[in-house]
């Protein structure tokens, strides 16, 4: 059957590549007569289209993850495995996957050598660009890849991770996890062709994240953490990642956790007697629900002032959150953005909304816990305010933008921390300023763009009207 005769939704999905077709048909010819091989290939094609019926939208042909050797070629390999009654071994599927995945890396390896610092930096830039592209399209493609990069350090190499992998999700849904080692393990020889080495502890198929630590193949880290194989057949490296925690625990003028009122709060709550998970969760809930949503006089005020105010918005509540975390020995950093002002409509009304800049300065906090950086944003809105907003719009069950909220699932947003990232305004992001060690550092480079006059009006009138709107909704 010709590929253009296959029936599936081509506005959502793409066909497998010529490379995977060649690899599969070659394998069939080695095992069966031509007639049998042709019949089996057609069955594999039909199984492939059947699989696509259950597959959510993953970005289509423009998504680089769907290129040859990517998501759709893996699904073709799954179809091959299923049609052959799951008899092919992990080693056979591994070799087939490598035959599809590795040729482009083999060509790149003639030009690239990751042992050279500038080439390592260039590769990191490629991963950062891919991660930003994934994040931007996540609102239209929620089932796609969720990729996070970490600040580049030429001394230790490249660090990034996938928090969601459609291939792993597909394998889980179709009971195909048994052959995922054959898919995941291909990352190791791919890096070797670039004169690099991969160090990884888990994948999305056998853990919560797929973590990548990439170094040059001459790096001593490869000898320190050699590649191993677990009982399921996954390649892995046995190491416990550590970070230079000191800079993520430092006190700064804005993160002034030595202030008397913060120290008094710490003594009252006794958070440091809790285990790290309960400590983090308790501080998160305190900032979310006991520091009410509201607008302070300025983004640059210190944590002690926010605590005495008893209210705050994304940037100010984030400052207090960071100060409390660091005071309790939990590393954290800040990620700066802008959001569309439409997100604030409802809290901003009338002339305040009309005169507001199109892009509003925004940030969330990233917390390092159990070797993972979690993105925490949903501490911004207190539960009382959000609950009343949901009651105000009970018929809204999908996406919502306004009143300080921008989410895909208005009635069930991800706002509780339980070893997961949380979001409440992320769907309104318009610009990404990157990651900073502290709000002090972020505000040196980026802050709300307002004229002197507009800044004066905001501090003395605009925010007062906004706070009145917030309180009115909270008490309704």
For residues 70 and 148, the answer to whether their CB atoms sit within 8 Å is no
Spatial distance between the Cα atoms of 176 and 168, rounded to a whole number of angstroms: 9
For residues 67 and 22, the answer to whether their CB atoms sit within 8 Å is no
Two tokens, residue 472: 């009115």
81 HSE (CA, 13 A, CB side): 27
pLDDT tens string, the chain, 476 residues long: the values are: 899 999 999 999 999 999 999 999 999 999 999 999 999 999 999 999 999 999 999 988 888 888 878 999 999 999 999 999 999 999 999 999 999 999 999 999 999 899 999 999 999 999 999 988 887 777 778 888 988 888 788 888 999 999 889 999 999 999 999 999 999 999 999 999 999 999 999 999 998 889 999 999 999 999 999 999 999 999 999 886 666 678 899 999 999 999 999 999 999 999 999 999 999 999 999 999 999 999 999 999 999 999 999 999 999 999 999 999 999 999 999 999 999 999 999 998 988 888 888 999 999 999 998 878 899 999 999 999 999 999 999 999 899 999 999 999 999 999 999 999 999 999 999 998 888 999 999 999 998 777 777 778 777 887 889 999 999 999 88
pLDDT of residue 244: 63
Nearest to 314 by CA among 152, 442, 147: 442
For residues 215 and 116, the answer to whether their CB atoms sit within 8 Å is no
Tell me the C-alpha to C-alpha distance, in Å, between residue 316 and each of 196, 215, 307, 471. 42, 38, 10, 18
CA R_g for the chain: 25
How, if at all, do strands 235-237 and 227-229 pair?
A: antiparallel
pLDDT of residue 118: 94
Spatial distance between the Cα atoms of 146 and 474, rounded to a whole number of angstroms: 34
Nearest to 223 by CA among 204, 237, 203, 241: 237
List of E strands, 354-453? 359-369, 372-376, 400-402, 405-407, 429-436
186 Cβ neighbours under 8 A, 6+ residues apart:
94, 97, 98, 101, 102
pLDDT of residue 36: 96
pLDDT of residue 238: 87
Given 3-state DSSP classes, what are the helix, strand and coil percentages for the chain, each rounded to the nearest 5?
50, 15, 35
Strand partners, 282: none
Give the containing element (helix H, strand E) for 146: strand 146-149
Give the containing element (helix H, strand E) for 95: helix 90-108
Strand partners, 362: 337
Spatial distance between the Cα atoms of 198 and 105, rounded to a whole number of angstroms: 14
pLDDT of residue 84: 97
Spatial distance between the Cα atoms of 367 and 321, rounded to a whole number of angstroms: 10
How is 9-73 classified by DSSP, letter by letter? -TTT--PPPHHHHHHHHHHHHHHS-HHHHHHHHHHHHHHHHHHHHHPPP--GGG-GGGSTTSHHH
- Would the pTM of this model clear 0.75, i.e. be above it? no
| Residue whose pair of structure tokens reads 């306004």 in the numeric block | 402
Two tokens, residue 52: 């696509």
Spatial distance between the Cα atoms of 188 and 217, rounded to a whole number of angstroms: 11
How is 342-354 classified by DSSP, letter by letter? GGGBTTB-HHHHH
Spatial distance between the Cα atoms of 192 and 198, rounded to a whole number of angstroms: 8
Spatial distance between the Cα atoms of 424 and 343, rounded to a whole number of angstroms: 10
378 Cβ neighbours under 8 A, 6+ residues apart:
288, 413, 414, 415, 416, 422, 423, 424
Two tokens, residue 280: 């983090």
């Amino acid at each position: 059957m010709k590929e253009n005769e296959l029936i599936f939704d081509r506005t959502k999905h793409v066909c497998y590549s010529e490379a995977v077709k060649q690899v599969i048909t070659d394998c069939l010819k080695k095992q069966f007569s031509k007639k049998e091989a042709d019949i089996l290939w057609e069955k594999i094609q039909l199984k492939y289209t059947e699989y696509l019926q259950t597959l959510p939208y993953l970005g289509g042909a423009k998504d680089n993850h769907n290129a040859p050797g990517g998501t759709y070629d893996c699904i073709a390999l799954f179809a091959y495995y299923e049609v052959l009654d799951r008899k092919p071994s992990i080693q056979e599927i591994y070799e087939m996957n490598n035959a599809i995945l590795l040729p482009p890396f083999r060509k790149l390896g003639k030009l690239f050598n990751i042992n050279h610092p500038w080439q390592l930096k260039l590769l990191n830039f490629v991963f950062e660009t891919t991660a930003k592209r994934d994040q931007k399209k996540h609102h239209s493609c929620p089932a796609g890849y969720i990729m996070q990069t970490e600040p580049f350090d030429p001394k230790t190499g490249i660090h990034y991770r996938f928090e969601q992998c459609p291939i792993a999700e597909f394998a889980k849904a179709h009971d195909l996890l048994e052959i995922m080692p054959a898919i995941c393990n291909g990352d190791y020889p791919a890096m070797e062709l670039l004169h690099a080495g991969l160090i990884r502890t888990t994948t999305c198929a056998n853990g919560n994240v797929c973590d990548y630590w990439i170094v040059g193949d001459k790096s001593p880290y490869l000898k320190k953490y050699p590649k191993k194989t677990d009982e399921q057949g996954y390649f892995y490296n046995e190491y416990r990642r550590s970070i230079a925690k000191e800079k993520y625990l430092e006190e700064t003028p804005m993160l002034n956790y030595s202030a008397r009122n913060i120290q008094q709060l710490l003594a009252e709550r006794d958070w440091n007697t809790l285990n790290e998970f309960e400590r983090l969760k308790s501080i998160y809930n305190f900032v979310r629900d006991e520091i009410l949503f509201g607008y302070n006089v300025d983004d640059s005020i210190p944590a002690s002032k926010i605590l005495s105010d008893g209210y705050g918005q994304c940037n100010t509540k984030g400052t207090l959150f960071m100060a409390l975390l660091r005071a309790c020995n939990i590393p954290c950093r800040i990620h700066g953005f802008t959001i569309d002002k439409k997100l604030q409509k409802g809290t901003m009304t009338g002339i305040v909304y009309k005169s507001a800049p199109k892009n509003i300065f925004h940030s969330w906090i990233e917390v390092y816990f159990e070797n993972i950086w979690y993105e925490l944003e949903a501490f911004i809105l207190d539960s009382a305010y959000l609950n009343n907003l949901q009651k105000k719009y009970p018929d809204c069950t999908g996406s919502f933008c306004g009143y300080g909220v921008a989410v895909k699932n208005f009635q069930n947003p991800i706002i509780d921390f339980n070893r997961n990232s949380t979001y409440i305004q992320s769907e309104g992001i318009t610009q990404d300023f990157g990651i900073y060690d502290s709000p002090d550092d972020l505000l040196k480079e980026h802050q709300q763009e307002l004229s002197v006059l507009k800044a004066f009006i905001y501090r003395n009138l605009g925010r007062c009207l906004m706070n009145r709107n917030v309180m009115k909704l909270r008490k309704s």
